[in-house]
A and B are shown apart, each in its own frame.
Chain A
Amino acid sequence: MDDDQLHLRLKAYEGRPAAVAGVGRDPVNAPMIRHWCEAMGDVNPAYTGPGAIAPPTMLQAWIMGGLSGHEGRAQAYDELLALLDEAGCTAVVATDCEQEYVRPLRPGDEVAFDTVIESVSRRKTTRLGAGYFVTTRTEVRVGGALVGTHRFRILKYAPAAAREPEPGTTAKTKTTAKTKTTAVKPAAPAPAPATASAAAPAPASAPAPAKQSELRPRPVVNRDNAGFWAGVRDHRFLIQRCAACRTLRFPWLPGCNACGSAEWDTVEAGGEGTVFSYVVMHHPPFPAFSPPYAVGLIELAEGVRVISDVVDVPYDKVRIGMPVALEFRVFDDELTLPVFRAREGAA
């Protein structure tokens, strides 16, 4: 079954129940509240003594199946998870939790719940491995009255690779970071933020020193694009120009797409451009990048396009057509990159 077929089968579960008439294993009770508060280090007096309420964020704890499993889980949800297991997505991690609290829960409240499968994503590649996001929405009731809602998103994924047992071992896993940026062509040699090197999982229980993990990924420099990166070092943005038909091209390539000639020279970009398109990266996060951030596809005045950072403007203020100006930013001793600053008054 290819990904699309699987996605269609998974998608058919949207709107179907994940749990019907589920009942909390225990009524809301003071000992579980106390254990929670001890674990969280929460000393809020509202959670103790006569008139105590349960910490609102404990909502999901009251409906957890625990070691004995979930009661009231609907067949549809088991089928959905089984389909994902069969596809190799055997591991699970939670990514989002959105809760609304209608009224506080108090010791003695007997909790009932219903859960519906809200959505199943397309296949996504993440740092942990490729998989599918499954979103459910649960309504929690006491005596028939709604007390809270709980939306929960999990990633069911195929583990990229098992880790070496020794803590601190350099990550051998090689994950590919496929993000929305990959949909933007052409693949410029310029700083596409999400690269495989940036996406390599952080090493182990001894996290890399912050400084190391905050370094931007290095560009891959080869014979075909070395001239471009030499220009960047001198704070010049060089565009290739076909010596035969004069067509400009970027990113750098050995031959001309228009006429096939292998002869070329360069012209230096004047630095003016506009945002041709952009994406905002929210997830997954990569070292050296702090989501959310905008990744721009910039059309230079010369007509070629480049993927780069749009800087000095909030990520949610970047717009198609926004005028930008080239500048060179030094990220560390060894890395200078062309970025594009939103021009005055553009935002």
Chain B
Amino acid sequence: MNVPREGGGRVEAGDELPPLEIAVTRTLIVAGAVASRDYQDVHHDPEAARRKGSPDIFMNILTTNGLVGRYLTGCFGPAAVLRKVAIRLGTPNYPGDTMVLRGRVEEVDGDTAVVRVTGDNGVGRHVTGTVTLTLPREPGA
């Protein structure tokens, strides 16, 4: 069956989602860490981060996960339901960078879509992931 995409049209394998640019500010990194109750010092204390071999504080994985979730539901609308989110981190997100999230629909089976997600920053690939979500059925379908 076909599923409507927000703004009309069907979701099909091969569809590219509109990219989402995230300004990786120090505030976002710290706010994301605290909102996810992650008090590891490398996410808020630059001195501690340097002692551990990192040039600065960096975004925690829970924030990246949250941003990937936001990206997907933002693209498919509030009725889309996240079923699985699997991410792998690469190049860290440091303050002052910009991350661009991109997505491509890999397969659509009934009302279930699998989307491959990447997030690139100025240094390289911050995140790769696969998201499975249930899309809203067409009204009346």
CB-defined contacts of B82 to chain A, threshold 8 Å? 56-57, 101
A24-48 near B? 1/0 per residue, CB < 8 Å: 0100000010011011111011100
User: Nearest residue in B to A42 (C-beta to C-beta)?
Assistant: B70
* Given contact pairs A40-B67, A290-B125, A162 touches B88 in the complex (Cβ within 8 A): no
- Shortest beta-carbon distance, B111 to chain A, in Å? 16
Q: Is the CB of B90 within 8 A of A283?
A: yes
Query: Could you list 8 A-B pairs, sorted by A, with CB under 8 Å?
Result: A39-B63, A56-B69, A60-B62, A91-B42, A98-B85, A101-B84, A167-B55, A284-B90
Could you give, for residues 147-185 of chain A, a 1 whenever the CB lies within 8 Å of some chain B CB and a 0 otherwise? Answer: 000000000000111111101000101000000000000
Q: Are B125 and A40 in contact (CB under 8 A)?
A: no
- CB-defined contacts of A41 to chain B, threshold 8 Å: 22, 67, 70
Nearest-Cβ distance from residue B6 to partner chain A, whole angstroms: 12
Nearest-neighbour CB distance to chain A for B49, whole angstroms, equals: 8
- Distance in angstroms from B11 CB to nearest chain A CB is 18
- How many interface residues does A have (CB within 8 Å)? 64
Which residues of chain A are near B13, meaning CB under 8 Å?
Answer: none
Residue numbers of B with Cβ under 8 A of A are: 22, 28, 31-32, 34-40, 42, 47, 49-56, 60-63, 65-70, 73-74, 78-79, 81-91, 94-97, 121-125, 128
Is B37 in contact with A40, judged by CB distance below 8 angstroms? no
User: Is A39 a contact of B122 with CB atoms below 8 Å?
Assistant: no
In the bound assembly, the distance between CA atoms of A92 and B89 in angstroms comes to 14
Binding site for B on A (CB under 8 A): 25, 32, 35-36, 38-42, 44-46, 55-58, 60-61, 64-67, 91-101, 104, 128-129, 159-165, 167, 171, 173, 201-208, 210, 213, 282-287, 290-291
* Residues of chain A within 8 A of B49, CB atoms compared: 163
Query: Known contacts being A46-B73, A55-B66, A202-B123, is A285 close to B34, with CB within 8 Å?
Result: no
Please give the distance in Å from B19's CB to the nearest CB on chain A. 15
| Cβ B56 vs Cβ A44 within 8 A | no
Q: Which of B51, B65, B97 contacts A97 (CB 8 A)?
A: B65
Contact B55 A205, beta carbon cutoff 8 Å: yes
Q: Which residue of B lies closest to A91 (CB)?
A: B52
Contact among B32, B53, B60, B85 for A128, CB-based, below 8 A: B53
Partner among B28, B38, B60, B91 whose Cβ is within 8 Å of the Cβ of A202: B91
| Contact across chains for A201 and B67 when beta carbons are under 8 A apart | no
Q: Determine the distance from Cα of A104 to Cα of B53 in the docked complex, in whole angstroms.
A: 38
A40 touches B123 (CB 8 A): no
With A39-B63, A44-B74, A44-B78 given, is the CB distance from A205 to B96 under 8 Å?
Answer: yes
Give chain B nearest CB distance to A341 CB in angstroms: 24
B residues in contact with A100, CB < 8 Å: 83-84
